[in-house]
Amino acid sequence: MDAVRVALLREVLAGTQWPGAARRFAGSLRRSVVPAGGGLLLVGTEGYEPWHLAAHLVDESAWSGLPELAPTLVRHHVRPGEPPHLSVGLGRLAAARRGHTLLVVAPGAPGEGLLERVHDARRAGATVLSLDGGDPDLGTLAHDALSVPEPDGEMDLDTVQHLVSAAAGENGTPAQRGPRRFRDRLARLADHLTAPPPSRW
pLDDT in tens, 72-111: 999 999 989 888 888 999 999 999 999 999 999 999 999 9
pLDDT in tens, 115-135: 999 999 999 999 999 999 999
Q: For the whole model, what pTM was predicted?
A: 0.81
On the 0-12 / 13-18 / 19+ scale of CB atoms within 10 A, 47 is: exposed
Categorize the per-residue pLDDT at 8 as very low, low, confident or very high, splitting at 50, 70 and 90: confident
Please count the helices (runs of H) and the strands (runs of E) in the chain. 7, 5
CA 81 to each of CA 50, 84, 188: distance values in angstroms, whole numbers, following the listed order:
21, 9, 44
CB atoms < 10 A from the CB of 115, how many? 18
Q: Give the 3-state secondary structure of residue 89.
A: strand
Categorize the per-residue pLDDT at 177 as very low, low, confident or very high, splitting at 50, 70 and 90: very low
